Amino acid sequence: MFANPFTLKKLGILGMNKRNIHYIGSHNDRKYYPLVDNKLKTKIIAQNAGIAVPKLLKTIEYQSQLRGLKEILEGLEAFVIKPSQGSGGKGILVIVRREGDTFLKANGQRLELRDIQRDISNILSGLYSLGGKPDVAMIEKLVEFDPIFDRYSYEGVPDIRVIIYRGYPAMAMLRCSTRESDGKANLHQGAVGVGLDIATGKALFSVQHGVPVTQHPDTGYDFSELEIPHWKKILTLAASCYEVTHLGYLGVDIVLDKHLGPLILELNARPGLAIQIANKTGALKRYDVIDTQEEHLDVSSRVAFSMGHFGAKKETQKGSLNHG
């Protein structure tokens, strides 16, 4: 039932306590947290740095603005409402289509204007923010997902999570929503995590609830055929967030837009550990290699280094060499 902790250590698997003390604690300066915890701020600094993000349509700051919500939503067909300081995907409302004053969610549920008003009211009073602080609601343009993901996602937002350690892409995975995860790309809610080869963007392994799977539970498509397009561009986009945020240990969530290509959806200063299971690789092995690297290299050489060193082939070759 229990894994031997010494075996885990040998495999270089990062645990929660070590992540908190040695990675988040020592590489992420707390004063930069607001940049990532507040999605509005993230969006502004990313835009200023020329990093592609989904278009911000409107912001709602005061409860009194809700009376005019109808006017605010005028002309918006497909959009996402999210709390600026929410966490774990809480409080995010995705409207895919509009029929007059009725709004349709991705799962087909129909919402009235006053349902949306209540949701935004909850956001503004801080229901989803850390510590219940009053929050701001952001209305974003709905990303038109690249059709490549249609087969691998059920009703929702598939996104690519890249861990950036000291500016180097260290690990990546695709998170596919399922019926069980209610269209959300959160692994603990039942989304499928697909480990991605840093060198090529090809799928490695996939897990749901920590258990290996080979195909999507709802669509039935085999993950092994999956290859992410624009791979180098994705890694470069993710790695460039290091300069903007100054955070040494960062999770970058990226979506692929049909027309715009990769967009940064959000940043996370406390990325989770499930990515190791999806990659069947201990994160520490890669972090230790990155620790031997110089700082202040430019983005493209950092991405080149990661692609050269953390590819699946490369690592198995090295492994067999060591054995031989």
What is the nearest approach in angstroms of another protein to the Cβ of residue 233? 30
Instruction: Determine, following the binding rule CB under 8 A, whether residue 280 of this chain makes contact with another protein.
Output: yes
Structure tokens at 30: 């707390």
When the beta carbons of 35 and 191 are compared against another protein, the nearer one is 191
* C-alpha distances in Å from residue 188, one per residue of 27, 64, 128, 288: 25, 36, 18, 27
Nearer to another protein, 125 or 224 (CB): 125
- Check binding of 126 to another protein (CB under 8 A): yes
* Buried-state track 189-226, b at ≥16 Cβ within 10 A, e below 16: bbbbbbbbbbbbbbbbbbbbeeeebeebebeebebeeb
Instruction: Identify which of residues 92 and 307 has a Cβ nearer to another protein in the complex.
Output: 92
Our finding on whether 261 is near another protein (CB under 8 A) is no
- Tokens 């009725």 correspond to 102
| Max Cα–Cα distance, the chain, nearest Å | 72
Tell me the closest approach of the beta carbon of residue 177 to another protein, in angstroms.
15
Asked if 116 and 69 touch (Cβ cutoff 8 Å), the reply is yes
Rounded distance, CA 240 to CA 53, Å?
13
Q: Is 1 exposed, middle or buried (0-12, 13-18, 19+ CB in 10 A)?
A: exposed
Site for another protein in 66-125 (CB under 8 A): 90, 114, 117-118, 121-122, 125
Q: Tell me the per-residue interface mask from 182 to 221 with another protein, x by CB under 8 A, - otherwise.
A: -------x-----------------x--xxx---------
What is the nearest approach in angstroms of another protein to the Cβ of residue 288?
15
Piece in contact with another protein (CB under 8 A), picked from 18-26, 229-237, 250-258, 261-269: 18-26
- The angle at the Cα of 232, spanning 45 to 212, to the nearest 5 degrees, equals 100
Of 264 and 312, the one with the shorter C-beta distance to another protein is 312
Residue 313 interacting with another protein (CB under 8 A): no
Residue whose pair of structure tokens reads 């740095």 in the numeric block: 49
Binding mask 32-71 for another protein (x = CB under 8 A): -------------------------------x--------
C-alpha 72/C-alpha 139 separation (Å) is 10
User: Would you say 137 and 232 are in contact if contact means Cβ atoms under 8 Å apart?
Assistant: no
Which residue ranges make up the site for another protein (CB under 8 A)?
1-5, 7-9, 11, 13, 15-18, 21-22, 63, 90, 114, 117-118, 121-122, 125-127, 132, 189, 207, 210-212, 273, 276-277, 280, 282
